[in-house]
């Protein structure tokens, strides 16, 4: 067990003086199809976002990140873009976006857009031109390769890379017209752009300028570390022998020219504006590689989404739809590594446990049963709001929304990744009830659909997401009658000494801002790395220090990690806070199931 040690003052000042608005910002991610529908078509829209700006401002949000609203055939819910400079009619018009930006600025908030430039839709004008002929001037805007042939003369893809959103299939798609394959890492409807071509890069720069000049304040950059591929396109090692196609990320993630491309974006576009930039970077674990992107002097991006925490329950080296046991020790290793890395080497973290590509955090990391859901949601809030980095909150996270019910059949899952996974299992194990039951279990735990059910605004039909007579694009989680924004706003103190999940988040965000010298810019030390249930750490600035203690288990724990320090006052907790004065102030502290407490140290 590790006791708390007081750091020497000079250890405080790694980047502490480098204050930036985007470091202190609370970013709220909106998945627009599921946020709020104002025209009764069952699909969320831009005016729906505008309508809820006061709700977001009141919560404590500074920046709104909107998942793609560009023109799209919606093969992958808008991440397949057909026109970067227009809005899909299902969401509204460019005029609606201009009004949204105006209203956001009126409330002293900012908007960041979702930039998806590793690939386009197969309906984008660039790709329609590219696939029209081998001599098309846009042919080399995408990645085309001739077929390989096996010993029997059967046509095969150029290599053995697996599709990311359907690992039973190849990442290459055959084009009958021109008799070649094109690379499409995610789905056949999402061909990868060829970033080796300077004309492609210039076109991307123009897209950024278009939105920045319109009033956007930055970008979340979708899978941005995949834009440079190893140009020999070699076969991937066989790590999943049961599958024909293999994870190929060694050759398409963080490729040889990634940093050159990111610096070019920075130097030619981003450096001319005051922006927040966050890169989605799956597959990368190498610390030096991360720092090359987010280091304060790197001239690339402000921060990245590291996937370590949301990959905690994946079998290492296998595909996403696998189950891997973990405990608090694993979580501590991840958090400690990323917190210390950015402090010591002058980088910056993006804090998140939930987004549109992940299951609900209260279901994944805690116990989402009716008995424990609120405790788990507040436990995660206490962790997120007391770590260093820019904080990202996903819609509904502030209410403790949870995964879809186990009773839902596979037909309720709308996501292309879920559909492909269920199809793969039915193909591999037809009629095998045990295997298919296990596949359903994995879907329930890990499908992206879990985060995409409509936002639960109130207890009216369809949770107030759309009109009572409309049919929502995706089924509303059936717990909306008691888990919704309206009830939590109306009853911020459901029982004496407690807060609703929403009120708990609201207070925690205000506390984070009031104590930004500690929680945003302060130093960090993880405690008791080997305890299997408790995650505890200390945060401090030049004149204040706090300790966060979190029980990531459903059992009672007496944690003896307070040796060497004394708690001046326990200031927050996810149980009845009238009892905080009874907590141990030194030596040990007793924790109930899923209990989290925040203390000010002497």
* 129 a catalytic residue: no
Ramachandran area for residue 40 (φ above 0: left; ψ -120 to 50: alpha; else beta): left
Residue of 222, 374, 415, 525 marked catalytic: 222
Q: How many CB atoms are closer than 10 A to CB 466?
A: 24
DSSP state of 596: E
Which residue from 387, 329, 317 is spatially nearest to 353, judged by alpha carbons?
A: 387
Please, what is the angle between helix 258-268 and helix 287-294, to 10°?
10
Q: In this structure, are residues 508 and 61 in contact, taking their beta carbons and an 8 Å threshold?
A: no
Q: Concatenated DSSP letters for 185-254?
A: SS-TTSPBB-TTSHHHHHHHHHHHHHHHHTT--EEEETTGGGSS--TT-PPPP---TT-SSB--HHHHSS
Q: In this structure, are residues 449 and 165 in contact, taking their beta carbons and an 8 Å threshold?
A: no
Q: Which single residue is written with the structure tokens 């200031």?
A: 571
Residue of 189, 280, 354, 397 marked catalytic: 280
* 280 a catalytic residue: yes
What is the CB-side half-sphere exposure of residue 489 using CA atoms within 13 A?
12
* β-pair type (534-540, 523-527): antiparallel
DSSP state of 483: S
193 alpha-carbon distance from chain centroid:
23
Helix (H) / strand (E) element for 559: namely strand 557-562
| Residue 144 backbone dihedrals phi, psi, to 5 degrees | -110, 140
Number of residues assigned to the chain: 602
DSSP state of 449: G
Which residue from 507, 292, 326, 483 is spatially nearest to 396, judged by alpha carbons?
A: 483
Which residues are marked as active site? Answer: 222, 280
């Amino acid at each position: 067990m590790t006791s708390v040690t007081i750091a020497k003052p000079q250890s405080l000042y790694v980047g502490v003086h480098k204050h930036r608005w985007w470091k202190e910002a609370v970013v709220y991610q909106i998945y627009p199809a599921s946020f709020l529908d104002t025209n009764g078509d069952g699909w969320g829209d831009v005016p729906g976002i505008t309508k809820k700006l006061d709700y977001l401002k009141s919560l404590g949000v500074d920046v709104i990140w909107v998942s793609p609203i560009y023109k799209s055939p919606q093969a992958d819910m808008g991440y397949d873009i057909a026109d970067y400079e227009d809005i899909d009619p299902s969401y509204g018009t460019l005029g609606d976006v201009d009004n949204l930006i105006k209203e956001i600025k009126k409330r002293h908030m900012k908007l960041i857009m979702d930039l998806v430039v590793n690939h386009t839709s197969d309906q984008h004008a660039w790709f329609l031109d590219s696939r029209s002929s081998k001599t098309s001037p846009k042919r080399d805007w995408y990645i085309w390769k001739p077929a390989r042939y096996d010993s029997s003369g059967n046509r095969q893809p150029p290599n053995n890379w697996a599709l990311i959103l359907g690992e039973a299939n190849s990442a290459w798609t055959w084009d009958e017209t021109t008799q070649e394959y094109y690379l499409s890492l995610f789905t056949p409807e999402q061909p990868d752009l060829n970033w080796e071509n300077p004309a492609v890069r210039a076109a991307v720069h123009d897209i950024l300028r278009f939105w920045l000049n319109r009033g956007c304040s930055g970008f979340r950059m979708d899978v941005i570390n995949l834009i440079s591929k190893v140009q020999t396109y070699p076969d991937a090692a066989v790590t999943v022998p049961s599958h024909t196609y293999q994870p190929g990320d060694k050759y398409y993630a963080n490729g040889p020219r990634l940093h050159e491309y990111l610096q070019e974006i920075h130097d030619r576009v981003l450096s001319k504006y005051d922006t927040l930039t966050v890169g989605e970077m799956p597959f990368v674990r190498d610390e030096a590689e991360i720092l090359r992107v987010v280091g304060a002097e790197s001239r690339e991006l402000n921060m990245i989404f590291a996937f370590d925490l949301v990959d905690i329950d994946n079998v290492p080296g296998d595909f996403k739809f696998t189950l891997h046991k973990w405990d608090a020790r694993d979580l501590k290793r991840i958090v400690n590594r990323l917190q210390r890395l950015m402090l010591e080497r002058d980088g910056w973290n993006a804090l998140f446990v939930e987004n549109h590509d992940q299951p609900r955090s209260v279901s994944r990391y805690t116990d989402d049963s009716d008995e424990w859901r609120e405790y788990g949601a507040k436990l995660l809030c206490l962790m997120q709001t007391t770590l260093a980095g820019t904080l990202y909150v996903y819609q509904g996270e502030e209410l403790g929304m949870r995964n879809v019910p186990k009773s839902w059949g596979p037909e309720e899952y709308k996501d292309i990744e879920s559909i492909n996974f269920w199809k793969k299992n039915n193909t591999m194990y037809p009629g095998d009830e045990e295997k298919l039951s296990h596949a359903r279990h994995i879907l329930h735990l890990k499908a992206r659909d879990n985060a995409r059910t409509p936002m639960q605004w109130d207890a009216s039909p369809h949770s107030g997401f759309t009109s009572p007579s409309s049919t929502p694009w995706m089924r509303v989680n059936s717990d909306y009658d008691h888990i919704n924004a309206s009830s939590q706003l109306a009853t911020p103190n459901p029982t004496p000494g407690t807060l609703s999940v929403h009120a708990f988040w609201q207070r925690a965000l205000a506390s984070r801002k009031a104590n930004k010298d500690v929680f945003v810019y302060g130093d960090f030390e993880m405690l008791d790395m080997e305890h299997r249930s408790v995650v505890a750490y200390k945060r401090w600035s030049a004149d204040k220090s706090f300790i966060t203690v979190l029980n990531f288990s459903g059992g009672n724990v007496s944690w003896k990690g307070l040796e060497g320090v004394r708690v001046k006052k326990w200031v927050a907790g996810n149980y009845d806070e009238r009892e905080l004065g009874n907590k141990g102030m030194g030596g040990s502290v007793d924790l109930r199931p899923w209990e989290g407490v925040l203390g000010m140290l002497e």
